[in-house]
């Protein structure tokens, strides 16, 4: 029987086995996590806002939602609460061909309020969501 003689590690050598294990576990983690990000069901199109704001035919009904700085919600220029928005939006989208919702917000509105409106719109059956951002006055 032959015995292997292990040479002691030199102080200048770098052990790569643990680094490879960490890198592979990160790759596997990203492979598992990436589909979860795309399966949320909320897709927002920012470049298509110009198409959402100016319809060629002018006959389709769109839901324009504005969230003001004080938290009030306006649906097509009429003030509604979050509960009324969840009731009125499906009725409005049933009459729409494109089922498009355009959401705009004031400058001081927190993101959780906008996300709540987007979630209500998606649950109400909106097929296309668009975020409208106003330019700052210089």
Write down the pTM of the prediction: 0.55
Per DSSP, the three-state class of 62 is coil
pLDDT average, residue stretch 74-81: 86
Lowest mean pLDDT among 24-33, 46-55, 129-138: 46-55
Instruction: Give the dihedral sign, CA 86/70/104/43.
Output: negative
Asked if residue 129 lies in contact with residue 101, where contact means CB atoms within 8 angstroms, the answer is: yes
For the chain, the average pLDDT equals 76
Q: Is 49-132 a domain of CATH 3.30.420.270?
A: yes
Query: pLDDT tens across 30-46, in order?
Result: 898 887 777 666 665 55
Q: What are the residue boundaries of the structural domains of the chain, listed by start?
A: 49-132
Examine the pLDDT at 53 and tell me if it is beyond 90.
Answer: no
């Amino acid at each position: 029987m032959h015995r292997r003689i292990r040479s002691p590690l030199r102080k200048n050598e770098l052990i790569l086995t643990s680094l490879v294990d960490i890198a592979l576990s990160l790759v596997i983690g990203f492979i598992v996590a990436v589909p979860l990000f795309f399966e949320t069901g909320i897709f927002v199109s920012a470049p298509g806002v110009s198409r959402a704001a100016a319809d060629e035919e002018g006959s389709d009904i769109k839901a324009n939602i504005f969230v003001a700085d004080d938290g009030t919600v306006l649906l097509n220029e009429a003030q509604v609460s979050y509960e009324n928005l969840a009731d009125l939006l499906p009725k409005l989208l049933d009459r729409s061909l494109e089922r498009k919702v355009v959401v705009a917000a004031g400058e001081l509105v927190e993101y959780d309020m906008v996300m709540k409106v987007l979630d209500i719109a998606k649950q109400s059956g909106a097929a296309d969501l668009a975020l409208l951002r106003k330019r700052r006055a210089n």
